[in-house]
Amino acid sequence: MAESLSAAQLSTKWQEASNRGSAILRYLGEQVPLIYCLEVELQHAEEELKVEQRLLYPLEYFLFGEEPCVGLEKLQRYNSSSSAQQCGRVFKEGETVYSCRDCAIDPTCVLCIECFQKSVHKSHRYKMHASSGGGFCDCGDVEAWKTGPCCSQHDPGTEATMETDECVMDPGLQERAQMLFHLLLQYTTDMLIWEENNDLSEELKPKVKEDSYFCILYNDEHHSYDHVIYTLQRAIACDQNQAQVYTALIDKEGRRAVKRGTLRTCQQAKDNIRRNSEHIIQKPLRVEVLHTAVMAHQTFALRLGAWFQKIIGYSVGFRDVFCQMALEPASDNDKLSLISRLMLHDAKLYKGARKVVHELIFCSLLMDTEYKRQFAMKFTEHYKQLQEDFISDDHQRNISITALSVQIFTVPTLARQLIEEGTVIKVIIDTVMDMMREHLDNNHRFHFQGHNPDKFFRVQVIFHDLRYILISKPSIWTEALRVKFLEGFRVFLHFLGCMQGMEEVKRQFGQHVEVEPEWEAGFTLQMQLRHILAMFQDWCSSDERVLLLAFQECHRALMSCTNQPFRSEPKDSYMCKQILHARPYKVSQEPVSIHLPISRLLAGLYVLLCQTGAIQYLPDFVDPAQLNFTELAEQPLRCIVLAAQVCADMWRRNGLSLVSQVYYYQDVKCRDEMFDKDVIMLQIAASKMDPNHFLMLVLLRFELFDIFNGNCSSKDQEVLKQWNRLTEEMLYLLIIIVGERYVPGISNVTKEDVIMREVIHLLCIEPMAHSTLIKSLPENENHETGLETVIAKVANFKKPGVSGHGLYNVKKECLKEFNPFFYHYSRPQHSKAEEAQKERRSQESSEKALRPPVPPPFRPAFSSIVNLLCCDIFIHVLRRILQKAVEDRSNQWTEPMIQRALHLVGQALLEETTQLENSSAEEVTFDFSLKAKKTGSEQGKSLLHFLTKMKSLPSLKVLKDMIAWNLQMFEVVKCLREKSSPAASFAMDHSKAEESVQDKEQKRKAEAAKAHRRKIMAQMSAMQKNFIESNKILYENMPESSSQSDTAASLDSFVMDVDKNRVAVGPQQGVWSLDWETLTCILCQEEQEVQAQAPAMVLTACVQRSTVLTQSRGKTLSPKVDYYPLFMPPDLAVGTHTGSCGHFMHATCWQKYFEAVQSTTRNRLHAELIIDLENGEYMCPLCKSLCNTVIPLIPVEPSSLNYESAQLVGQHLTLMRWIQIMSSRIRGLKAMWTADGSDAAEKAAAPFDEGQTEFRSILSFGVQEPPKFSRSITEMLVVCATTVHRVGLQTPPNDLCPFVPAMSWNTCAYTIQAVENMLQDEGKALFGSLKNRQLSGLKALVQFSAAQRMKCNQVVIQKHFADMLAVLVPVPHVENTPSILEVDFFHLLVGLVLSIPSLYQEEAVDLQPSAVSTAYNHLYLLQLITVGHMLQVLLAAHDCAVMAVAEEGDEAQAAAEFFSTVSQHTDRMKSGVLSFSVEGVKRGVLPFLRCAALFFNCLTGVPPPDELSVSAELPESQLPLLCSYLSLPSNLFQLFQDHRDVMTTLINRWCGNTAISKALKGEMHMIRYPRKRNRLIDLPEDYSVLLNQASHFKCPNSSDDERKHPTLCLLCGVMLCAQSSCCHEQLNGEEVGACTGHAAICGAGVGLFLRVRECEIVLMASKTRGSPYPAPYLDDYGETDPQLGRGNPLHLCPERYRKLLHLWQQHCVLEEIARSLELLNVMFPFEWQML
């Protein structure tokens, strides 16, 4: 048995065999079926191990003739530097690739991200884009880059190792490699291109013939996924899961065995599948039946592909041998090399096999210049066959061998060789021609009606190849190159000949066209050819001889085109004593075509002849007698007239198809090789023909000849209108022919000048963004517009703000270039530009006339064009037009017509001035002004006459500036002719204009402001009206608002004192004054005061869970953690935030609105995505913010303390006493709750002796009656509290839950903390910097939380109070109280302050503490909590700097005392470690004090000290102010001194808690104070760093090489695998994407993600809602680049990122999403939960 032989033995045996090849093959024949395709399939790893051991290892042993690793080491020692110098990394689909705009030979030259990061191009103008797959990194290819061809990693260094790589390989090794590679490549080829009924060769045949077969299903693009699944289920009776697995694999690999069995059963399955799949689409699925052995060999052959790659990578020598073997012609008849056989079979191979073959080609043949050349020749040889196969194949191009063309055709030297030796231009065009032959009609022209778009799309791909070949034009021409190029050019002309005049259109009379004729195909072709045409011209221009010969060929081709012959003989036409001998032809009656590529190419070549000067030799190449310019211009003129007639609405009945064609004819995507060239052709003709004849021809073709001859009239309004429009168009054409000179060759302009002029004119329309400019400029074949080189010269850049994008404004000095009749303006652009420029001029009070600019002078060959402007026919035409206006024959002239005529007059006068300025009057023959004065002057009908009369015509008021300017110009010309100075007559009314400039400016500003205000008002009222309009019925039953204002007077008396005491807590407290002004309901517009008994007013509000403040991001957020909701854990992991947009309504109005929204929204298809109706969401009727509840406004009676009685009370009510009273009150209440009064025990255990304190003594310091609220207010209290509870705890609504009040306190506390956090983060002052809406929201929330208690069971509140108080002081019967380290003290403060009034409740009477009682309650609670918090801070701050012992002063001393007391209790656990600092404690306590100040401010309305409304440099400096406002000593440690006894006892108790000893031992995580502020993660400045990071991203759950979507969480920085089923998670029993799953934990449902490859932020809130948001990255032009569509380098914009941070901090993510969804209104929403 062979199995028993070792690799060494095998190798020797093979080596000694008489036929080594067949020995190896026999071994394979025996072994391969034992490993692959077994009855019971092996695990992948096991299979791989066997392959390595039994097959590959022996083969390598044989190759090296010894232990492979030993041989390999030797080999690498021989040629140490032989590692590949090219990167050659093959791109996966979606991988980011980079190209350098400065250095790449063409945009197809790209780098992988690693090479790019290490290359010089990183600092150049680079572009990035996502690869479509296939293709490889060009790093190291010297032909791909002008500079920097290698990155630092692939740089061969200075030693020229590349060339000396001629590998010195051991001859024996070389011989064995040749033999083995040939054998295995042959084997691989045979196996891959297997035909179903082939037989295995003798060597491979299995010894025992087994009757076991596979039925194999192949991938195709015709059948959908579902279809294949369906077919499989029916045909081979497998279940859906199995079918899905098969289908997925088939899609990925290209094929899959779906059944194993005997030949018969497999045949049956095959028939079944084919039959079942045929039902739906004509084409059956491809199925084959293969013997298991064959299948096994095929599988191994694929494995060999990867093995080859590995072996080749070892050494250049191996690579060379491999390439030789691949290219060696076979010995059989057709002599095809192995690589040719593989190429030619490509389209028949399945996906997986193709990939292996292509990768093999990449790493071998394409890595070496010489083999690349040989391969390219073979590729060219088979080119036609390959393309044909590709076109009939249905796979995508990126997995076709034809896609390799970009790798070889774009290499400049290779391209030239292929042209010279392989006539590749001809080959390519012949291939296209063959493919398109079926579209030819009888006249040998293309006709695409009814073509197959899919196939047509594939054919177009061939044009890319032609473009690649032409990409780098030769610097040196050889004779061979000339011959072959011209041969290709001739074939190209032949191809164009089939387009010349194709798809003619004929004007439709009477009836509208029935079927819109096909036109897209023709234009697609034109767009494909656009760059090719330009490149051909470019090539021609680089060699004089080629240019002349090309013109000759082109002219010949045009002459031989028999398209659109004239139908009748020439006739004579007369006008102004001129005779034109021309054939009649009417565009409106005879067929006309838009496609004239040969005419246009000829025009292009002609201009090049002029530009290069080669025109002088033209007569040697083309007989001048043969050059009939009238004839050459005929077709282009017809086309232009067609466009004009379409514009004049004459072709209405021909449908949209024609309109689209005319649009594209002049559009930026086509115009340079269509409209522009037609204009040039007319300019050529105008320069060569007699001007009068030329104009007469134009008039004839415009069908205006008779009209201007005066022998044609009509009363038909429609016809008159058409004539007018045609006249306008005709005049416009004349303006263009004379004035458009910005073409190199026509005048002496450079390409740069041309682009500058385009840019100026675009910016004259309006300021534009870089990307808009790019889109509006023509691209060359390298996708460059040249914008960057000129933009700085013509425009100023205005940076973007935090939204929007950067804009370019045209420079003032460039405005003189502005031509309102710029020929690339579309109609709307023309009027917009004209409008903009007029307005600008009137603002600047500069010259108002939009006069024609002075054009650059024509080159000599074109200089006679200007004669058009002074010929008789021209004067005649203008006179007739002006006459009509002067005589005001209505319907016979239009304002645009006159405007154009005036422009032409201006052009003529400018020309005359220029000529007069350059030479003496006698020499100048250009005599427009003379003719304009003379012709017709006898009857007073000269041009000048008319012009003078027009000046005062009211009907031409709009044009008066232009008329005036023209008249002035006449004066100038006159003076020039008379040689006198024109200055005298030039005196304009300039002075008048100037004086009022300032006034005007002011007035304008005032006007603008007024207009703006008006606009906003209108918007607002429209919004409301809309709403009221649509909800009219609701308003009919509205109750009259019942506002009593009798308390208003009493208010005033207090207002005066408000300023006195700026203390919000304790006996010094200032006046409570929390007045809601009279509010206007946004719905009914009624005014309403907020009063206890009045109908409730409510404020829109949105409650949401939040992790903005969390100190432990990512912690699992189960709502029942620890002590929540009664105690907020100090890490603030998740809180409940309540925000508001600050809009008020009547509760009743809101309820009606809400009900209406609920019912209408249900009927709106898309609204439910935005609004979660089940959760009570709605949009604010005014501002569209998303809300889910309302906060009722609680009226607060202004009240002030009686300071005397307060002082009196203070004398009795010490802190100690207060604690005793509280304690005994709670004890008493407890007794009542338990009813039986088991009060006996424990009294002794209490640290505070309650003494004689009695149950009711609490009441003795003052009680009063609580306010009574109207029903609607109490109702709203419940509504709001229930929502807060439901959202905050994520539970079903339950208004009886005892935690309802606790949640109200929580949201109050949390919202204040969030606000404080935000203010601190933005460096804003604590008071006075909140927006109004935020402030009223906060006030309403605090008041609501305070009042909510009254709607609850008082016992519940009392119990809560007791539980909370127990954290601070011992409370009887309360156990399991959390330690002070486990509670957030601000939440505790809010809870205690808001619940304490309930203690005053007596069984039968509703009571609450009086103002004095309240003052002391607040004071003591705050004092206790502050000290507790200080201790909390201190305990957590064990690594703070040690307090300087030497520190002096009261504060230091008090602090030291405090510290020493604390350390007494902690020393035992942590001796010496507890270090401390006064500043540290103060810093840690500060946020708490700030929150407390905000809280008491909102609760009491006592104004804070003014200094707190100023933002402080050092926040700590405001500590004394905060303390005084809160009635705390500014030396906080004094609190300890003041109440030493109480405090010592308490500290003793607090520190005694076991949790504290645990924490100090480090067994429990402690929160540090001040808490860290959460921000979004830091993003790199350069976006490609992120891309790089993403390219290294590995999905945690799968290892397949599918494209992933790395997505970055901006809250915590984790990279997720989005949109991929591999990373789906379960969330509440529902399958969701990785991002949704992560957001649930990381942000309590809110998520901010950056999709790295797409460069886009995704905002998420709750499972189903999300929206895209621009990433905070901008390119150098101040624009974002979603999807990296433009690919410019991107840099972080910190302002925008900060804006995003604020969006999150202020809890506006949900709102932002709702707003953008409302805006988008998508029909098919994105499934956000799958992200």
Q: How far is the CB of 281 from Zn ion (least distance, A)?
A: 33
Nearer to Zn ion by C-beta: 353 or 1617?
Answer: 1617
Q: 1173 or 1622: whose CB is closer to Zn ion?
A: 1622
Report d(CA 1111, CA 1128) in Å as an integer: 13
Minimal distance in Å, beta carbon 1669 to Zn ion? 16
Nearer to Zn ion, 546 or 1096 (CB): 1096
Choice between 229 and 1609, CB closer to Zn ion: 1609
Q: Are 1081 and 1145 in contact (CB under 8 A)?
A: yes
Tell me the Ramachandran region of residue 854: left when phi exceeds 0, alpha when psi lies from -120 to 50, beta otherwise.
beta
Q: How many residues does this entry show for the chain?
A: 1731
| Residue with smaller CB distance to Zn ion, 680 or 1646 | 1646
CA angle, residues 357, 362, 367, in degrees to nearest 5: 145
Please tell me the distance from the alpha carbon of residue 945 to that of residue 885, in angstroms, as a whole number.
12
Site residues (vs Zn ion, CB under 5 A):
87, 89, 100, 102-103, 112, 115, 121, 124, 137, 139, 151, 153-154, 1081, 1083-1084, 1141, 1143, 1146, 1149, 1180, 1182-1183, 1185, 1595, 1597, 1609, 1611-1612, 1617, 1620, 1622-1623, 1642
Smallest gap from residue 1126 Cβ to Zn ion (A): 28
Closest approach, Cβ 357 to Zn ion, in A, equals 22
Name which of 683, 659, 662, 691 is nearest 674 in CA terms: 662
Closest separation between CB of residue 1161 and Zn ion, Å? 17
Return the number of the residue (1002 or 1621) whose C-beta is nearest Zn ion: 1621
Please say whether the dihedral angle defined by the alpha carbons of residues 317, 323, 326 and 327, taken in this order, is positive or negative: negative
Least Å distance, CB 402 to Zn ion, is 24
DSSP 1572: P
Question: Which of 1106/1620 has CB closer to Zn ion?
Answer: 1620
Task: Choose among 1102, 1471, 1139, 1460: nearest CA to 1330.
Answer: 1139
Q: Do 1284 and 1103 contact (CB within 8 A), yes or no?
A: yes
To Zn ion, the closest distance from the beta carbon of 1598 in angstroms equals 5
Quote the least distance from Cβ 1264 to Zn ion, whole Å. Answer: 32
426 to 384, 479, 635, 970: CA distances (angstroms): 11, 17, 28, 59
Between 992 and 1032, whose beta carbon lies closer to Zn ion? 1032
CB of 147 to Zn ion, least distance (A): 6
Closest contact distance (angstroms) between CB of 1183 and Zn ion is 3
Q: Closest separation between CB of residue 1041 and Zn ion, Å?
A: 7
**Which residue, 1186 or 1493, has its beta carbon nearer to Zn ion?**
1186
Shorter beta-carbon distance to Zn ion: residue 112 or 975: 112
Q: Write the CA distances from 1049 to 1053, 1086, 1092, integer angstroms.
A: 8, 22, 16
Q: Closest approach of Cβ 1612 to Zn ion, in Å? A: 3
By the 8 A CB rule, do 28 and 142 touch?
A: no
Please state, in angstroms and rounded to a whole number, the distance separating the CA atoms of residues 1713 and 1171: 11
Place of tokens 């449908």: 655
Nearest to 1308 by CA among 1425, 1418, 1396, 1390: 1390
Rounded Cα distance between 1234 and 1241, Å, is 14
Q: What is the signed CA dihedral for 637, 643, 649, 655, rounded to 10 degrees?
A: 120
Nearest CA-CA partner of 446 in 384, 601, 426, 456: 456
Per the CB < 8 A criterion, the answer to whether 635 and 599 are in contact is: yes
Work out how close the CB of 1582 gets to Zn ion at its nearest, in angstroms, rounded to a whole number: 16
C-alpha 66/C-alpha 62 separation (Å) is 7
Which C-beta is closer to Zn ion: that of 1621 or that of 1721?
A: 1621
Q: Residue 578 in 3-state DSSP?
A: strand
Please list the residues that pair with 99 across neighbouring strands.
Answer: 127
Q: Name the helix (H) or strand (E) containing 1506.
A: none
Find the helix or strand (DSSP H, E) in which 606 lies: helix 597-612
Confirm if 289 and 236 have CB atoms less than 8 A apart.
no
**Pairwise CA distance, residues 653 & 564, whole Å:** 22
Of 248 and 622, the one with the shorter C-beta distance to Zn ion is: 248
Least separation, in Å, of the C-beta of 1479 and Zn ion?
A: 34
Query: Taking phi first (over 0 means left), then psi (-120 to 50 degrees means alpha), and beta for anything else, what does residue 433 get?
Result: alpha
Nearest distance from residue 1141's CB to Zn ion, in Å?
3
* Between 102 and 961, CB nearer to Zn ion: 102
Looking at beta carbons only, is 214 or 1583 nearer to Zn ion?
1583
C-alpha span between 260 and 1510 (Å, rounded):
83
Element (H, E) at 1135: strand 1135-1139
Least CB distance to Zn ion at residue 92 (A): 13
CB of 140 to Zn ion, least distance (A): 6
d(CA 1599, CA 1623): 12
Around Cβ 471, how many Cβ atoms within 10 Å?
20
- Cross-strand pairs, 128: 98
Q: Which is nearer to Zn ion, 89 or 1665 (by Cβ)?
A: 89
Torsions phi, psi for 1517 (to 5 deg):
-65, -15
Instruction: Select 119 or 1477, whichever has its Cβ closest to Zn ion.
Output: 119
Pairing of strands 571-575, 287-291: unpaired
Nearer of residues 87 and 1576 to Zn ion, judged by Cβ? 87
Whole-number Å distance between alpha carbons of 340 and 538? 34
Dmax (CA) for the chain in angstroms is 134
| Residue closer to Zn ion, measured from CB, 115 or 1196 | 115
**Smallest gap, in angstroms, from Cβ of residue 154 to Zn ion?**
4
- Please state, in angstroms and rounded to a whole number, the distance separating the CA atoms of residues 173 and 311: 13
Instruction: Specify burial of residue 1375 (Cβ count, 10 A radius: 0-12, 13-18, 19+).
Output: exposed
